[in-house]
Chains A and B, each alone.
Chain A
């Protein structure tokens, strides 16, 4: 694909600006009615999905060139996909999120990748992670846990901790919790420890094509060699990469589970008993890559066709990806199965969730915007009266924790597995 493939999307944009809002049907207040962090922060129309489609058209037609401002409008975005959900309320012929990424690809190819993101990509190349951390330290979090090392051993399930849980000392406890849960449930699994490699998903969101392909091929090869049939990860970004991107870029057919899906299944099957009360009022934040972007991958290599003269559809039918079938119920069911936990919803939930602000390279390239985005979500969580904000993605947790810390909020931030651990 290239941005040219989305020329028709641009020309068919009605400029309705649904992409700026949460789905209008779901709106419950003025305060929490917005959907797109980028337009809320950047303001000019070009900071919306519709605006970016126009930018693409303008650039393709040679009406304008890439300036610093244009680069900002393209990259100061979490690629959270809220726009995609809202646009598709009324449209079957638009793919704004894909188009926005292809616009990034165009800018990257023309040398406009923001410097902060270039550093991440360089780190991916040299250290196989996006955080600039030395690759040797990747397996440190699991050194003392006695987990099967799949670089030498075999297992049907691989636990993929991901970059954040592997390198961020404040967060790696969650990875340890995850493996403890897997062990307790008697799952036969292993890890790659120091040889685990980044999923590459974030580089894809930043507008690069090759790194994720390379990561996919590397990881799939390692997994196949170790006899892995299922990859389990506590990271929503990794989950998205494995589930949606790897089949696309490397033909992956491996089964992908987020930890919440696995643990919820174990609890439902009675293999895990959550018995200890965790008295807490919590609200759940749907990570974009687990929620609205967490739908199953459907291979498609079709083309546009017209019916009834001019109605636009596709041969064969094109997968929809509108957030209707994201992973929403497993985390909620899991939280509700913890004794003492009271789950309250934020106004923007499931496919309408407001982003944490960490995605799309925003955390790295536009930290103020990223933190503002997180701060908005913290306020929304606080408005529910919850004691804690729970998520299922280390990037969300990191951004939220930073925001809570800087903003002096009392709200606690947890990964869902931390609550499960308390209940075991």
Chain B
């Protein structure tokens, strides 16, 4: 399918001919997306191909291209650093312009005293963190890692990470933002809309951000976010990360006012009690269950191999059979990482004492080998910069995160055994990486201050092996069925699978939601801000007349 020459010429006039292409091979580099093979016909790695890729440089250019898209009735799909299959066009044969925002890559403002930075969509977390650390500040790096766009996590997608326990979710760190609606209007929200600067996200009066900055955001389904201001957090560490060692396991020395621990628990009840202890005592600059992404059976073998630059995955097999490593692994089986930070030696010593009391009271413990200098420095590096996040893919190149239902700790621990059992059973085929049923990973909290989190099951599969791909899909379906049977809300896998569904199937699913009010609201918002339907289902809605009654009819 081709974009009309008139439309193409007009886009060239807006952004310059070198910043638009409709070359099929170049378009394919946007159609190829993470997770596509799980949901596309014949397990193709390609999502539908956009009809052109456009690279605007300014908000005005985004606006002009959007208006043009309205004129020619072409869908728009912005992408910053993003991956996921929903970052590509969702439907075949639907004219779509992919807006690649990588030229919008500037840090526009940094206000040290008032602790915020204004950034464009292609500024990544690592860049901003490096800049603000020079001034004793930090940012909450999203769980997707420091290669990801700040604007995406703050405005358009999920924004929690290991530091959210202390620094908050980026949806709460969002201050002013700039949004080009699908209709082509430039909207600024919060204080910036009043011309008062970027420091506040709310108001005037009700907060306009509320129409898109929900749980997941609009994920490119309702216009383009072109700027945002992000609240910065305190950084009690050095002005620059003085990284040591060779790749891949770089190490970050632990300053005297920091502690880096891996905490083990004898069982999930103790884990929850320990969590509540940490939560009540407001400990934790970073709180995350990271290393278990490799699976509880193999995690120690993998990470001790990884930090040795002379070794490869082959060595994990040997390590996994080593009785000493097996023993460490058992200690770390139910574990998480905790980084403490303070501004004084008294402060850090007190935190240590409090942590020790919590551990004594709950039967939890520090996993010694993980707290040794090498692993502690590696842990510090991993979690402070989040530059190893794509170890998610380390086993076989494919990772799909299932489960991830968030809630209070007492509730999360109730679904953990089910998540483990379901995954373990699906590994028996040998078509998924057999790393143990517990490959549950997650932030200590997705909310600032703690008390709320979820575990994502790291399902590793080989995207180059269709049997493995199918096994992953089967696991997704098994997880959905298990959740349905056990009365557990659906996890991430359900959202992933929906990408392939026809509209009616998605609407049927939405109509069965306990409350459908929001989907009607979103339809009306879409009608108001996207009259020509340029956005996609990533900003979901229910057509008029669906909803409760339709849902009942469907069930019958």
Contact of B313 among A14, A85, A313 (CB under 8 A): A313
Number of interface residues of A (CB under 8 A): 66
Q: What 0/1 readout, one digit per residue, does chain B (112-135) give for beta carbons within 8 Å of chain A?
A: 000000000001101110110000
Determine how close the nearest CB of chain B comes to the CB of A377; give it in whole angstroms.
19
Contact (A312, B396) CB under 8 Å given A25-B381, A45-B100: yes
Q: What 0/1 readout, one digit per residue, does chain B (219-257) give for beta carbons within 8 Å of chain A?
A: 000000000000000000000110100111010100000
B25 and A16 contact, CB distance less than 8 A:
no
B247 and A324 contact, CB distance less than 8 A:
yes
Query: Is A310 in the interface zone, CB < 8 Å from B?
Result: yes
Q: What 0/1 readout, one digit per residue, does chain B (74-99) give for beta carbons within 8 Å of chain A?
A: 00000001010000000000000000
B126 and A310 contact, CB distance less than 8 A:
no
**Chain B contacts of A29 at CB under 8 A?**
127, 130-131
Contact of A311 among B103, B131, B313, B388 (CB under 8 A): B313
Contact of A25 among B127, B385, B391 (CB under 8 A): B385
Determine how close the nearest CB of chain A comes to the CB of B134; give it in whole angstroms.
8
Determine how close the nearest CB of chain A comes to the CB of B432; give it in whole angstroms.
6
Q: In the bound complex, what is the Cα–Cα distance between A50 and B33 (angstroms)?
A: 11
Query: Is B550 in the interface zone, CB < 8 Å from A?
Result: no
Contact (A307, B23) CB under 8 Å given A15-B34, A23-B247, A25-B243: no
B313 and A11 contact, CB distance less than 8 A:
no
A312 and B131 contact, CB distance less than 8 A:
no
Query: Is A143 in the interface zone, CB < 8 Å from B?
Result: no
Number of interface residues of B (CB under 8 A): 81
Question: Secondary structure at chain A's binding surface: helix, strand, loop or mixed?
Answer: loop
Contact of A309 among B34, B381, B394, B431 (CB under 8 A): B431
Determine how close the nearest CB of chain A comes to the CB of B122; give it in whole angstroms.
10
Q: What 0/1 readout, one digit per residue, does chain B (416-459) give for beta carbons within 8 Å of chain A?
A: 00000000000101111111000000000000000000000000
Query: Is A21 in the interface zone, CB < 8 Å from B?
Result: yes
Query: Is B414 in the interface zone, CB < 8 Å from A?
Result: no
Query: Is A27 in the interface zone, CB < 8 Å from B?
Result: yes
**Chain A contacts of B288 at CB under 8 A?**
none
Closest to B399 in A: A14
Contact (A308, B298) CB under 8 Å given A16-B147, A73-B26: yes
Query: Is A89 in the interface zone, CB < 8 Å from B?
Result: yes
A351 and B316 contact, CB distance less than 8 A:
no
Contact (A58, B25) CB under 8 Å given A11-B397, A21-B124, A27-B130: yes
Q: What 0/1 readout, one digit per residue, does chain B (371-409) give for beta carbons within 8 Å of chain A?
A: 000000000010001111111111111110000000000
Contact of B390 among A18, A43, A44, A67 (CB under 8 A): A18
A65 and B395 contact, CB distance less than 8 A:
no
Determine how close the nearest CB of chain A comes to the CB of B342; give it in whole angstroms.
24
Chain A residues numbered 300-339 whose CB sits less than 8 Å from any CB in chain B: 306-314, 316-318, 320, 322-325
**Chain B contacts of A54 at CB under 8 A?**
28-29, 32
Contact (A91, B390) CB under 8 Å given A57-B45, A69-B23, A312-B397: yes
Query: Is B210 in the interface zone, CB < 8 Å from A?
Result: no
Contact of B147 among A24, A318, A322 (CB under 8 A): A24
A351 and B247 contact, CB distance less than 8 A:
yes
A70 and B25 contact, CB distance less than 8 A:
yes
Q: In the bound complex, what is the Cα–Cα distance between A310 and B400 (angstroms)?
A: 14
Q: In the bound complex, what is the Cα–Cα distance between A14 and B81 (angstroms)?
A: 13
Listed residue (A14, A91, A351) with the most chain B CB atoms within 10 angstroms of its CB: A14
B246 and A45 contact, CB distance less than 8 A:
no
Listed residue (B29, B81, B381) with the most chain A CB atoms within 10 angstroms of its CB: B29
Contact (A322, B248) CB under 8 Å given A30-B128, A46-B25: yes
Query: Is A17 in the interface zone, CB < 8 Å from B?
Result: yes
Listed residue (A310, A311, A316) with the most chain B CB atoms within 10 angstroms of its CB: A310
A55 and B130 contact, CB distance less than 8 A:
no
B462 and A310 contact, CB distance less than 8 A:
yes
Closest to B301 in A: A308
Determine how close the nearest CB of chain B comes to the CB of A35; give it in whole angstroms.
11
Q: In the bound complex, what is the Cα–Cα distance between A15 and B81 (angstroms)?
A: 10
Q: In the bound complex, what is the Cα–Cα distance between A323 and B246 (angstroms)?
A: 8
Q: In the bound complex, what is the Cα–Cα distance between A70 and B19 (angstroms)?
A: 15
Contact (A90, B390) CB under 8 Å given A63-B28, A67-B25: yes
Contact (A318, B312) CB under 8 Å given A26-B243, A30-B107, A89-B247: yes
**Chain B contacts of A314 at CB under 8 A?**
312, 314
Closest to B98 in A: A45
Q: In the bound complex, what is the Cα–Cα distance between A7 and B317 (angstroms)?
A: 25
A57 and B32 contact, CB distance less than 8 A:
yes
Query: Is B468 in the interface zone, CB < 8 Å from A?
Result: yes
B460 and A311 contact, CB distance less than 8 A:
yes
**Chain A contacts of B463 at CB under 8 A?**
11-12
Query: Is B146 in the interface zone, CB < 8 Å from A?
Result: yes
**Chain B contacts of A63 at CB under 8 A?**
24-25, 28, 46
**Chain A contacts of B314 at CB under 8 A?**
307, 313-314, 316-317
Chain A residues numbered 102-130 whose CB sits less than 8 Å from any CB in chain B: none
Chain B residues numbered 160-178 whose CB sits less than 8 Å from any CB in chain A: none
Listed residue (A58, A94, A309) with the most chain B CB atoms within 10 angstroms of its CB: A309
B130 and A28 contact, CB distance less than 8 A:
yes
Listed residue (B30, B34, B387, B434) with the most chain A CB atoms within 10 angstroms of its CB: B387
Chain A residues numbered 245-259 whose CB sits less than 8 Å from any CB in chain B: none
**Chain A contacts of B128 at CB under 8 A?**
30
Query: Is B489 in the interface zone, CB < 8 Å from A?
Result: no
Determine how close the nearest CB of chain A comes to the CB of B346; give it in whole angstroms.
31
Query: Is B332 in the interface zone, CB < 8 Å from A?
Result: no
Q: In the bound complex, what is the Cα–Cα distance between A24 and B129 (angstroms)?
A: 11
**Chain A contacts of B508 at CB under 8 A?**
none
Query: Is B359 in the interface zone, CB < 8 Å from A?
Result: no
A311 and B433 contact, CB distance less than 8 A:
yes
Q: In the bound complex, what is the Cα–Cα distance between A337 and B128 (angstroms)?
A: 37
Query: Is A93 in the interface zone, CB < 8 Å from B?
Result: yes
Q: In the bound complex, what is the Cα–Cα distance between A314 and B314 (angstroms)?
A: 7
**Chain A contacts of B386 at CB under 8 A?**
24
Query: Is B529 in the interface zone, CB < 8 Å from A?
Result: no
Q: In the bound complex, what is the Cα–Cα distance between A94 and B128 (angstroms)?
A: 28
Q: In the bound complex, what is the Cα–Cα distance between A64 and B124 (angstroms)?
A: 31
B126 and A51 contact, CB distance less than 8 A:
no
Determine how close the nearest CB of chain A comes to the CB of B229; give it in whole angstroms.
16
Query: Is B102 in the interface zone, CB < 8 Å from A?
Result: yes
B250 and A25 contact, CB distance less than 8 A:
yes
**Chain A contacts of B46 at CB under 8 A?**
58, 63
Q: What 0/1 readout, one digit per residue, does chain A (270-291) give for beta carbons within 8 Å of chain B?
A: 0000000000000000000000
Closest to B433 in A: A310
A323 and B29 contact, CB distance less than 8 A:
no
Determine how close the nearest CB of chain B comes to the CB of A229; give it in whole angstroms.
27
Query: Is A147 in the interface zone, CB < 8 Å from B?
Result: no
Q: In the bound complex, what is the Cα–Cα distance between A10 and B21 (angstroms)?
A: 22
Contact (A51, B29) CB under 8 Å given A12-B398, A29-B130, A30-B107: yes
**Chain B contacts of A44 at CB under 8 A?**
21, 26, 29, 53, 55, 100
Query: Is B464 in the interface zone, CB < 8 Å from A?
Result: yes
Listed residue (B19, B246, B390) with the most chain A CB atoms within 10 angstroms of its CB: B390
Query: Is B365 in the interface zone, CB < 8 Å from A?
Result: no
User: 9 A-B pairs, CB-CB below 8 angstroms?
Assistant: A23-B247, A27-B127, A44-B21, A44-B26, A73-B25, A89-B247, A89-B388, A92-B313, A313-B312
Pairs A-B, 7 closest by C-beta atoms: A12-B397, A24-B387, A64-B25, A8-B464, A64-B24, A90-B390, A11-B464
Having A25-B388, A43-B55, A70-B23, one finds 10 other A-B pairs with CB under 8 Å, namely A8-B464, A24-B385, A27-B385, A45-B30, A45-B100, A70-B26, A89-B390, A90-B393, A92-B394, A307-B317
Chain B residues near A (Cβ < 8 Å): 19, 21, 23-26, 28-30, 32-34, 37, 45-46, 53, 55, 81, 83, 100, 102-103, 107, 123-124, 126-128, 130-131, 145-147, 240-241, 243, 246-248, 250, 252, 298, 309, 312-317, 320, 381, 385-399, 427, 429-435, 460-465, 468
Chain A residues near B (Cβ < 8 Å): 7-8, 10-18, 21, 23-30, 33, 43-46, 50-51, 54-55, 57-59, 63-67, 69-70, 73, 85, 88-94, 306-314, 316-318, 320, 322-325, 351
